Amino acid sequence: MTNSTTNSTTDLMLRRLGTTGPTVTSPGLGGLTLAGAYGPVDDDAGADVVHAYLDAGGTLLDTADFYGAGRNEMLIGRVLRERRRDEVVLSVKFGALVTPTGMPSAFDGRPEAVKSSLTYSLQRLGTDHVDIYRPARLDPQVPIEETVGAVQEMAESGYVRHIGLSEVGAETIRRAAAVAPISDLQIEYSLLTRGIERNGILDACRELGIGITAYGVLGRGLIGGNATGGSRANHPRFQAENLEHNRALVARLQDIADAKGATLAQVAIAWVAAQGEDIVPIVGSRTPAQVESMIGSTAVTLDDADLTRIDELVPAGSAHGDRYPTRFMHQLDSER
């Protein structure tokens, strides 16, 4: 479907999102971490992180209007004022209704909400268009055809370049793709979360020429990071015996990382990238040093023997605990 090449100005790979989407650097930089999800990050430090990624030749910035209730978009907008707009591919999610505590309470996919949300995002980002616009979740009260149709209207008006989806199942993907070209599906995919391999989602995307932008690649810090702090305490995988089991599971990969001269995090990112040229990992970073490490993952080569060994050490479905708290799991069309 897509081809991987190397950006001449960086070690990052270039991959196209599906058959109709833009060419982006892989890995992409996720904005949730800079919105304080896993601990505070001040805006100056956050701007340094985004600049570090772009200075290294990165192009793909992933954000959402509800990351920090608009704060992350404003941070990216601040950075964009110092860059050329055409150097950046902006992927923006919308639709989450948040409470004053910052937690999503519901999702609004009505056409009028689509247009209003986009208007505010354009203002905060300081741009006249976003490159990929996607509903963060399926609104169960609104047919996906209506939501995607509204985004398509915005594309026809020049405010959106490509349409994406997020955390939806195979049937919803097919219905959306019948309305408008879909560039990519954003969904959690990692060594610890491999549901798309068995529930028809990955097959549907490949059949339809839709790319995958994979988030949660490091298991929210379980792989090679500090698995504490922020919202993680509410996630089943970080609680009691589950956390102990999952840490031990990940530790099995240390010998492979050592043999590659890499970190566990770099092996995990490389594993996701190795699952197909149609897959782009999205990785959050809180410091320029973490950006450098993320980019270093592209130097990690995993051959067939490595991939087989990794599957033996961390089999699909071996992580303990759901990937979200129960009430959020119920909001995922991809889990139905």
Which residues are CB-contacts of 6 (< 8 A; sequence separation ≥ 6)?
12, 13, 14, 298
Cα 159 to the chain's mean position, in Å?
22
C-alpha span between 163 and 144 (Å, rounded): 12
Q: Cis check for the bond before 143: say yes or no (omega within 30 of 0).
A: no
Question: In 3-state terms, what secondary structure has residue 61?
Answer: strand
| Structure confidence at residue 3 as a pLDDT band (50, 70, 90) | very low
C-alpha span between 68 and 35 (Å, rounded): 5
| Structure confidence at residue 228 as a pLDDT band (50, 70, 90) | low
| Structure confidence at residue 2 as a pLDDT band (50, 70, 90) | very low
Query: Is 159 among the residues known to form the active site?
Result: no
What pLDDT is stored for residue 328 in this prediction?
A: 87
Q: Decide if 321 contacts 242 (C-beta within 8 A).
A: yes
C-alpha span between 14 and 35 (Å, rounded): 26
Averaged pLDDT for residues 9-16? 82
CB atoms near residue 299 (< 10 Å): 12
pLDDT in tens, 103-119: 778 999 999 999 999 99
pLDDT in tens, 253-282: 999 999 999 999 999 999 999 999 999 999
Percentage with pLDDT > 90 across the chain? 86
pTM: 0.94
- Which residue out of 67, 133, 159, 324 is catalytically annotated? 67
C-alpha span between 4 and 25 (Å, rounded): 10
C-alpha span between 157 and 151 (Å, rounded): 10
Tokens of 241: 């015996």
Averaged pLDDT for residues 219-231? 78
What is the pLDDT of the chain when averaged over all its residues? Answer: 94
Partners of 214 in beta bridges = 187, 281
What pLDDT is stored for residue 230 in this prediction?
A: 64
